Structure formats: structure tokens, C-alpha cells
Amino acid sequence: IENYLFRLTLDLIMGVVEEKSAGMNLSEEDKLFIANFYKYSFVGVMLDWIKMGMKVDYQEIVDKMCLTLKGNVTNSIKNFSGQ
């Protein structure tokens, strides 16, 4: 399940990174680094939730993740591109 989550999450986040970095001077290597960074965060939270017996309402986790990540992918792209 871990490998599946990593592949699925990387594809989803890479799509966001590609969309947000359109027209910016950002290497593919940097885009992949940003996507991988957030991939590990997402999957780590999901795996912890599973290990703890999935007792916490997933909507609460999603809400907290949204608050934590709001604007951060865009900020990471800007930081890497020097803008």
C-alpha cells in the first residue's frame, strides 16, 4: 500500500507543481524535488493514521493538512525560481 500511495500522491502533486509553475523558470529536477517533499508529507500522515487504527475522523486530518499546506506549494515554487 505504501508504494501505491507514493506513486499516486507523486502524480497528483506533480500535476499541481506543473500547473503552478507554468511560465516560470524552474527545472524539472526542482519540480520533482518539491513534489517529492510534499509526497512524503502526505503519505506519512496517511500511514500514521492507518497505524493508529484510523480512529481519527479523516475529514479532521484533511482540514488540518489543508491549513498547513495552504499556499506552500506556490511558495516553494517561487523560492526555487527566485521570484
Q: What does the domain layout of the chain look like in residue ranges? A: 2-81
Query: Above pLDDT 90, what percent of the chain?
Result: 90
**Residues 54-66: tens digit of each pLDDT:** 999 999 999 999 9
**Residues 23-41: tens digit of each pLDDT:** 998 999 999 999 999 999 9
Residue 1 in grid coordinates: 500500500
